[in-house]
Amino acid sequence: MRSASFFPLLLVGGALFPAPVGGARTAPADPLPSWNDTAPKKALTAFVAKVTKDGSPDFVPPAERVAVFDNDGTLWCEQPIYVQFAFAIDRVKALADKHPEWKDQQPFKAVLEGDHKALAASGEKGLAAILIATHTGMSIEEFEATVTDWLATARHPKYERPYTECVYQPMLEVLAYLRANGFKTFIVSGGTADFMRPWAEKVYGVPPEQVVGTTFKTKYAAKDGKSTVVIEPHIDLIDDHAGKPVGIARAIGRRPLMAFGNSDGDFEMLEYTTTAKGPRFGLLVHHTDTEREFAYDRKSPIGKLDRGLDEASNRGWVVASIKDDWKTVFSTKK
């Protein structure tokens, strides 16, 4: 969009495609080349075709084409631990010098000693304490800088590459495909918005204002011709389970047309989407690939998918198996 040169465009079904070069129109390239030609891909493309076809009884105007995506386990890898938790652990280690008391204080002691058992025993209360110690008490700009710095050097323990390269190529294609068809794509994640905003635009093409996530309370601070917003040590909204429709209602203000998730934490988001009037679409990514990724569902502490598997069929949700339905998994070869 920065060029001032002429750029002929062709409007097709509400979407912008570059005009074909050389005169004759050629068949458009497959927008989802990393998907096998199995049922999930067929259901997805058939849905998009019917809601974007002018004159179709299911036509939906571009302004109402909202698609929401969970992040962990849907757009990028959440195993063996949530990326944001890996970040928090590294931050505890980096901040330990300033907090000598952590040596004797749980859950920090467990993190510093790599004591997984004691860490697990600290439960949700321990997790909240770690989050608050590492994610609050600073300006949003300061926090975002720590995220950016960390991502530049941190590596996924299994794939040994940056976490931002542990994103799913098939889902990047879905994001681009929907945007090319006039959709606005949003992330609606249990992770915090502050953690995703510094890189979501570059990695997913999703700008900060379309990133919805867990939030802390914040406070405005201005002094000497400068101003900022400071993150306070209090949870504002946990954007998971029933918190996802709440986050969607607050940030987006209308029902999504399509929702993509992978765990029971996304159940209510898919339910809120697909129980609305008119055509709706829900898809669950099912982690089934021990070889190329991880296989987990009903009994996993991370990304548990149990009720979703039970009810998907009755609710008309598509279940995409990584093993069977994805030709490629990651955006960069392992």
Contact footprint for a copy of itself (CB under 8 A) = 1-14, 54, 61-63, 66, 140, 182, 184, 186, 193, 197, 201, 207-211, 215, 218-220, 222, 225-227, 229, 236, 242-246, 249-254, 268, 271-272, 275-276
Output the smallest distance, CB 333 to a copy of itself, in A: 29
Nearer to a copy of itself, 92 or 312 (CB): 312
Output the smallest distance, CB 300 to a copy of itself, in A: 24
**Eight-class DSSP state of 103:** G
Nearer to a copy of itself, 121 or 229 (CB): 229
**In this structure, are residues 153 and 23 in contact, taking their beta carbons and an 8 Å threshold?**
no
Nearer to a copy of itself, 192 or 288 (CB): 192
Rounded Cα gap, residues 28 and 11, in angstroms: 14
The CA-based angle 149-167-230, given to 5 degrees, is: 40
Nearer to a copy of itself, 174 or 187 (CB): 187
Nearer to a copy of itself, 100 or 225 (CB): 225
Output the smallest distance, CB 154 to a copy of itself, in A: 22
**In this structure, are residues 201 and 147 in contact, taking their beta carbons and an 8 Å threshold?**
no
Output the smallest distance, CB 100 to a copy of itself, in A: 32
* Cross-strand bridge partners of residue 18: 9
Rounded Cα gap, residues 115 and 229, in angstroms: 35
Burial of 255 (0-12, 13-18, 19+ CB in 10 A): buried
The CA-based angle 149-155-71, given to 5 degrees, is: 80
Nearer to a copy of itself, 57 or 253 (CB): 253
For residue 169, what are the contacts with CB-CB under 8 A and spacing of at least 6?
Answer: 34, 328, 329, 330, 331
Output the smallest distance, CB 182 to a copy of itself, in A: 7
Which residue's entry shows tokens 């198996």? 321
User: Cα 149 from chain centroid?
Assistant: 20
Output the smallest distance, CB 137 to a copy of itself, in A: 15
